[in-house]
Structure 1
Amino acid sequence: MDIEAFWDLIERSGAEHSTRQARLEWLENELSRRPLEEIVDYQLLYEAAHMRGDSWDMLGAYWLVFSSSIDGFHDGLSWLISLGREPYERVVDQPDLLTTLPQVVAAYATLGSWTDEERPEFERLSYVAWRACKKMGVRDAFADALDDRRPPVSDWLGQKWDCEDWAEAERRLPRTVAFLRAE
C-alpha cells in the first residue's frame, strides 16, 4: 500500500459512512480483506501521518482552541487525519491554519457540549489495523512485522514552547489567537 491508497481508504470511509463507528467497521473490513503486508503498510503510513503532526506549534494550536491534554491532542490528530489528506497536510504544515477548517470552527462553537460524534478526537481510528488483524487471527504476526519495519520514534518537531504563554502564542500562531479573541 502506498500513501495514495492510504489516503483513499481514509477519505472513502468518510464519504461512504456518516458515523465514526460505521467508518471504523468499513475500514476494518476493507483491511481484513488485504494481505498482512498491506495492513502493515497502512499502519506505518497512519503512524507517519500522525508523527508528522507531532509538532510544538500543532500542539499549541490544538491546545489553544480545545484546551486539550497531550492524549487529547494525539486523539485530535487522529480526528484531523479522518478529515482527509488535503486538510490534514495543510494544517500540519501550517498549524496556524487550524481554525480555517470548518470542522474546527464547528467544534469550537459547541465547545464542551460535544456528542461522541462531534468531539474533535478520534482515538479509535488509530486501532483499526490492529482490529482487522485480530479479526483475521494474525495479531502476533502483525505486531512482529510492525516491530521489524517501524522506524525509530522521532522527537516532536520544532522548538518547544509553553502553550499558556499568550505572547509566544500570538507570535507563533497569530491567526489562531485572533480567532480566539474574536469569539
Structure 2
Amino acid sequence: MDVETFWNLIESCRRRTPDPDERVVWLSGQLARCAEPEIVEFQICLGRVLSPTFTWELWAAADRIMGWCSDDSFFYFQLWLVGLGRDAFERVTRDPDALAELPEVVRLVGRDHEDWDEEEWPAWEELDYVALRAFTQVTGRSECDFYDVVDAQRGDDYGSLDPAGERWDASDDAEAERRLPRLSGMFPVS
C-alpha cells in the first residue's frame, strides 16, 4: 500500500461518517478485503505518515490545547490528525499553529476539558488498531503474529525515538505566544 492509497482510504472514511468508532469499523472492513501484505503495509504506512508529526513543536501545540499531554496522549493526538484528512494533516505538520484554523479545535475554545464529548477529544487511539483487527480477522493469527510481521516487513525503519526540534514548555505563556501565537491566545494557561 502506498501513501496515496492510504490517504484515499482515510479520505473515504472521513466522507462516510464523522463518528470515530464508525470510521474504525469501516476502515477495518475495507482492510479485511485486502491480502495480508496490504493490511500490514497499511500499518507501516501509518507509521511513515506519522513520522513528520513527531516534533516538540506539535507536542507543545497538543499540550496547549489539552492542558497536558503525555507521550501516549500525544500519539493519540497524532492519530487524530490523520483522521482530519490529508490537507489539514499536512498544514498542521508544516505549522502546528495552523491547528487554530481547524473547526475541530475552534469548537473546544473556552470550554472546560471535562465538558468535551468523547468524540471531540483530539485523540483517535483506535486508528492504531485498524490493521491489527483486519489482520486477525483475515488470517486467524494473533496480535503477536501481526506485530512480528509488521516488524519484519518494516525492518530498521523505526524513525527517531525522540521528537525532532527543540523541547520547550508549552505552559510558558511568553514562549507559547512567540511559537504558537494563535493557539496560545485560544488556550491560555489557567
Same-fold call, TM cutoff 0.5: yes
Q: SS at 1:96's partner residue?
A: helix
Match of 1:88? Answer: 89
Structure-2 separation of matches of 1:179 and 1:114: 16
Aligned pairs (5 A) from 1:17-56: 17-56=17-56
Q: Tell me if structure 2 keeps the 8 A contact 1:14–1:23.
A: yes
Q: SS at 1:147's partner residue?
A: helix
1:175 to 2:179 alignment: no
Q: 166-175 vs 78-87, which deviates more?
A: 166-175
Q: Unmatched 5+ residue regions in structure 2?
A: none
CA displacement, residues 126-151 of structure 1 (integer Å, 9 cap, x when unaligned): 11111111112144543222112331
Structure-2 separation of matches of 1:114 and 1:164: 21
What do you get for the CA RMSD once the two structures are aligned?
1.7
Q: Tell me if structure 2 keeps the 8 A contact 1:66–1:111.
A: no
Q: Tell me if structure 1 keeps the 8 A contact 2:73–2:123.
A: yes
The one-letter code sitting in structure 2 at the alignment partner of 1:145 is V
CA displacement, residues 31-85 of structure 1 (integer Å, 9 cap, x when unaligned): 0110111112111111122232111000111111221322222211111110100
Match of 1:165? Answer: 172
The one-letter code sitting in structure 2 at the alignment partner of 1:85 is R
Q: Tell me if structure 1 keeps the 8 A contact 2:77–2:124.
A: yes
Q: Tell me if structure 2 keeps the 8 A contact 1:55–1:157.
A: yes
Identity of aligned residues (%): 37
1:122 to 2:124 alignment: yes
Q: 9-18 vs 84-93, which deviates more?
A: 9-18
Match of 2:158? Answer: 152
1:131 to 2:133 alignment: yes
Q: Report runs of 4+ in structure 1 exceeding 4 Å deviation.
A: none
Give 1:178 deviation, angstroms: 3.1
The one-letter code sitting in structure 2 at the alignment partner of 1:123 is E
Number of positions where the alignment pairs a residue of Structure 1 with one of Structure 2: 181
1:59 to 2:59 alignment: yes
**Alpha carbons of structure 1 residues 132 and 109: separation in structure 2 relative to 1, 3 Å:** farther
Q: SS at 1:159's partner residue?
A: coil
Q: SS at 1:121's partner residue?
A: coil
Structure-2 separation of matches of 1:135 and 1:142: 11
Q: Tell me if structure 2 keeps the 8 A contact 1:91–1:97.
A: yes
**Alpha carbons of structure 1 residues 134 and 107: separation in structure 2 relative to 1, 3 Å:** farther
Structure-2 separation of matches of 1:103 and 1:177: 16
Q: Unmatched 5+ residue regions in structure 1?
A: none
